[in-house]
């Protein structure tokens, strides 16, 4: 366990001899490189646990919740402008594997077709589902598609998608959880810390500086 004594050991005293980079930057004190590595490892370990919890929570929800989640993630990523409009699109058409069409502009000149598939853990999305989705994009003359699932895609589905001329992005459960963490969907900041160091330049004598 990372305890206070460990943290104090990894902090650099303001009276310590500064490293070459510190001397150039005019900073001293703060945290050592070893300490920064240790704290980064702690944050990564915490995020890994949260990542698994997110996937578990997603699997426990309904299809309707999953569709709302997809909306929130897309909005956070900058796609679409109005949640109500997107909500009407998601799950409305059910046409050949397309669950929704998200307009990217008010006049509808550009849009993204979406398929949101909630499956049991361990069940792969087969190539047939991705092929049907791609065919629906072709029928609608749509240039962009996003296929989101709670699980993962089969190797055949991934290979098929890589050969498509039209742009189709596959988002599996792991990537979805990554996007939720990155954009703050379904998570909150529990603690935020700032580690400050001494600014030597502030205390350095200045040429021509008069006394008070």
Q: What is the mean pLDDT of the segment spanning 22-31?
A: 50
Q: What is the pLDDT of residues 108-163, one digit of tens each?
A: 677 888 899 999 999 999 999 999 998 888 887 777 899 999 999 999 999 999 88
Please give the class, per CATH, of domain 63-183.
alpha beta
What's the CA angle centered on 85, arms 60 and 93, to 5 degrees? 70
How does strand 152-153 pair with strand 124-125? Answer: parallel
Which of 69, 67, 146 shows the shortest CA–CA distance to 104?
146
**Residues pairing with 145 in the sheet:** 113, 168
Q: What is the pLDDT of residues 50-71, one digit of tens each?
A: 999 999 999 999 988 998 899 8
What's the confidence (pLDDT) of residue 20?
Answer: 46
Q: Compute the distance between CA of residue 165 and CA of residue 134 in angstroms, rounded to an integer.
A: 10
């Amino acid at each position: 366990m990372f305890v206070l004594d460990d943290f104090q050991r990894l902090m650099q005293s303001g009276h310590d001899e500064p490293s070459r980079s510190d001397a150039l930057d005019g900073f001293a004190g703060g945290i050592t490189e070893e300490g920064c590595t240790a704290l980064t490892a702690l944050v990564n370990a915490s995020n890994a646990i949260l990542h698994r919890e997110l996937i578990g929570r997603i699997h426990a929800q309904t299809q309707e919740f999953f569709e709302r989640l997809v909306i929130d993630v897309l909005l956070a990523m900058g796609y679409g402008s109005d949640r109500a409009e997107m909500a009407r699109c998601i799950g409305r058409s059910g046409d050949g594997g397309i669950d929704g069409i998200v307009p990217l502009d008010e006049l509808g000149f550009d849009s993204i077709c979406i398929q949101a598939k909630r499956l049991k853990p361990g069940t792969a999305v087969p190539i047939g589902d991705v092929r049907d989705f791609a065919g629906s994009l072709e029928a609608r003359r749509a240039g962009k598609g996003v296929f989101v699932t709670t699980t993962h895609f089969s190797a055949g589905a991934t290979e098929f998608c890589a050969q498509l001329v039209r742009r189709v992005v596959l988002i599996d459960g792991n990537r979805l959880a990554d996007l939720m963490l990155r954009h703050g969907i379904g998570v909150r900041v529990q603690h935020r810390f700032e580690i400050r160091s001494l600014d030597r330049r502030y205390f350095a004598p200045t040429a021509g500086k008069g006394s008070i």
